Structure 1
């Protein structure tokens, strides 16, 4: 039996549909609702919802999103007097779109589709694979791999939507905020359709690799919940959050994080909204480099110089880096390298910034010339 619920804020519209559905022996009407908000708090213990779109308490498209975010196996059948929502309805992956008044003959087609869809899903159901099968690279260009094979997004905007939700993962972001960032200065109604289309593409992609309920929806807010073990950006955030002092127990992990940062966050994708997050990651890496350089100063001067060089590539104009590097080179009696470093630094900041090195760096250079 196919367990069904009906949702319509006009009770007079529910009654004739109930009578028609009762003629089908495969349909078991579990409950009817005239207040759509009541559905949200219910257990999703049904197979299909016959759902109106234009309701006062809650928009039917939004309710469908909430239902699917809790149980993606539930089938959606929209029953409405308005034809203009058909595109949005099918982008949400509804099984059918019925115009009122619904005839028994038209319902026959719907029930047939329902039975075929439910049977197909039951046949394809497999145990979810471990999340370690999925890996994501965010530094440079967003790249998503499953079983070491790259995943292809259907459109560039679908990929950008995933990148946006990934950036703010485990946080509910209002639909309008997403539209504002991804489709600025565009018609709002069209942008909502674009959003639903991209969500459909992303969900379909991740459904295909058994991540069927990673995008949640609640009160017009979307949230990506994805607990990955293999993501360069996640690793940086975890280390920053949990490592307060660098010591022998965590230095290798910190070095792994530093080496994973080959380019800025989502740099090659060119997403304007990602700039602030990119700067945040940059500062995280600079902080870890500073701590790593301090850790190695007394233990291994060559390693300290190595990480100073990495820091210099990320922030080439910082006098403090040059001073520290020159001091270590002097301790190693590497006078020629220290002089070369000073001259390269001076030429760089003079040409690019029109300024001279700091007095500290100049004094170190003067000491080298007098020895």
Structure 2
């Protein structure tokens, strides 16, 4: 095992090195200045960084985040003289934390934990099996067999920050944008610490779940790398919808509308920043759903048309066309009670929500239908 040690106090640094060497651990480098560690650590090929939390210029929480932006596989062990930092270390999902003065038995436990996490457990094949990120309805992952993988996020903010970075797509946010979006009401110094902590949490969560995504930090901006082939369901769905429309393929479109659109964009998460995208995708769904229902009705595929109108009515109860469409379809199927039921529902909804009556064309159709049934 190859490690680096970072501590601004020389005596503490030398003590840690001696203790690690007693366990035959290779110490590839030592640093008293966190900035020097940032410059040189990558070339040393270390698997683990033992670092003090309380250091001048840059504390260990920020340093850990920046080190992992370069090397996401780097394990972090925090070393501190203050037990209060233990909570923050665990919040960051660090491998472990050690309290000064360090006891050999306690260090042995940490090293055994690190040894158990080393490559060779079949992680690579599992990592490749996670192939799809789903954002319709709620955020989850799918493996190559279609099985759902729910991620145990360390905090709600870690989940939200990850979702926001996916939401941005190819756009790379800077620190200020992330602070404004995720911690708008938190004091700037505390928010910066929370940002570094949360980025670290995300990296550890993805790594522990064998998900092949990486967060990188370059030139003051954060980048979530999707180049590994990870698919995002909302982007795939929108592309497929446009292809089906261009091809004039109503069967494919029907499947996309009823099956692939599992729910609104991040519907259950409640993120304010997601509302505009949620409404855009809802509007796109509605546009094609109305067209496809009409196509299905014209082709006498009444069951398909009914399914779509029922979905439209559930998602957009204010849309009169869904009630009228169902009235026409149930009439063609000879279901008199459902025609009356749909008209009654439409009348009740418009009166309660808008103080209005159904459109004149719908009322005329219903009156004519009643006349035909009465004669």
After superposition, residues 281-292 of structure 1 pair within 5 angstroms as 281-292=281-292
Q: CA deviation at 1:349?
A: 0.4
Q: CA deviation at 1:265?
A: 2.8
Q: CA deviation at 1:180?
A: 1.8
TM-score (norm 2): 0.68
Cα deviation 1:300-322 (Å, max 9, x = unaligned): 34122321221122112223333
Contact 1:95 1:113 in 2 (8 A): no
SS in 2 for 1:210: coil
RMSD over equivalenced CA pairs, Å: 5.1
Cα deviation 1:60-101 (Å, max 9, x = unaligned): 9777645523432346799xxxxxx9998994959999xxxx
SS in 1 for 2:246: coil
Distance 1:195 1:169, change over 3 A: same
Q: Distance in 1 between the 2:247 and 2:348 partners?
A: 35
Is 1:370 the counterpart of 2:337 in the alignment? Answer: no
After superposition, residues 111-122 of structure 1 pair within 5 angstroms as 122=118
Distance 1:92 1:64, change over 3 A: farther
Distance 1:253 1:54, change over 3 A: farther
2:159 equivalent in structure 1: 159
1:304 equivalent in structure 2: 305
Q: CA deviation at 1:350?
A: 1.0
SS in 2 for 1:265: coil
2:82 equivalent in structure 1: none
2:345 equivalent in structure 1: 344
2:279 equivalent in structure 1: 279
Q: CA deviation at 1:2?
A: 5.3
Q: CA deviation at 1:368?
A: 1.6
Contact 1:235 1:257 in 2 (8 A): no
Contact 2:86 2:97 in 1 (8 A): no
Q: CA deviation at 1:361?
A: 1.4
Q: CA deviation at 1:239?
A: 2.3
Distance 1:270 1:167, change over 3 A: same
2:81 equivalent in structure 1: none
Contact 1:335 1:368 in 2 (8 A): no
Q: Distance in 2 between the 1:217 and 1:241 partners?
A: 34
Is 1:318 the counterpart of 2:319 in the alignment? Answer: yes
2:214 equivalent in structure 1: 214
Contact 2:2 2:48 in 1 (8 A): yes
Contact 1:135 1:228 in 2 (8 A): yes
Q: Gaps spanning 5+ residues in structure 2: where?
A: 79-84
Distance 1:114 1:306, change over 3 A: closer
TM-score (norm 1): 0.68
Q: CA deviation at 1:355?
A: 0.8
Q: Gaps spanning 5+ residues in structure 1: where?
A: 9-16, 79-84, 98-105
SS in 2 for 1:245: helix
Is 1:193 the counterpart of 2:190 in the alignment? Answer: no
SS in 1 for 2:268: helix
Distance 1:350 1:77, change over 3 A: closer
Contact 1:128 1:211 in 2 (8 A): no
Contact 1:206 1:212 in 2 (8 A): yes
Distance 1:94 1:351, change over 3 A: closer
SS in 1 for 2:224: strand
Instruction: Please identify, of 45-54 and 144-153, the stretch whose mean Cα deviation from structure 2 is larger.
Output: 45-54
Q: CA deviation at 1:139?
A: 3.7
Q: CA deviation at 1:49?
A: 8.3
SS in 2 for 1:215: strand
Distance 1:93 1:329, change over 3 A: closer
SS in 2 for 1:244: helix
Contact 1:216 1:224 in 2 (8 A): yes
1:129 equivalent in structure 2: 126
Q: CA deviation at 1:357?
A: 1.4
Distance 1:212 1:314, change over 3 A: closer
1:203 equivalent in structure 2: 203
Contact 2:130 2:212 in 1 (8 A): no
Q: Distance in 1 between the 2:222 and 2:149 partners?
A: 31
Instruction: Please identify, of 275-284 and 183-192, the stretch whose mean Cα deviation from structure 2 is larger.
Output: 275-284
Instruction: Please identify, of 46-55 and 176-185, the stretch whose mean Cα deviation from structure 2 is larger.
Output: 46-55
1:360 equivalent in structure 2: 361
Contact 2:128 2:212 in 1 (8 A): no
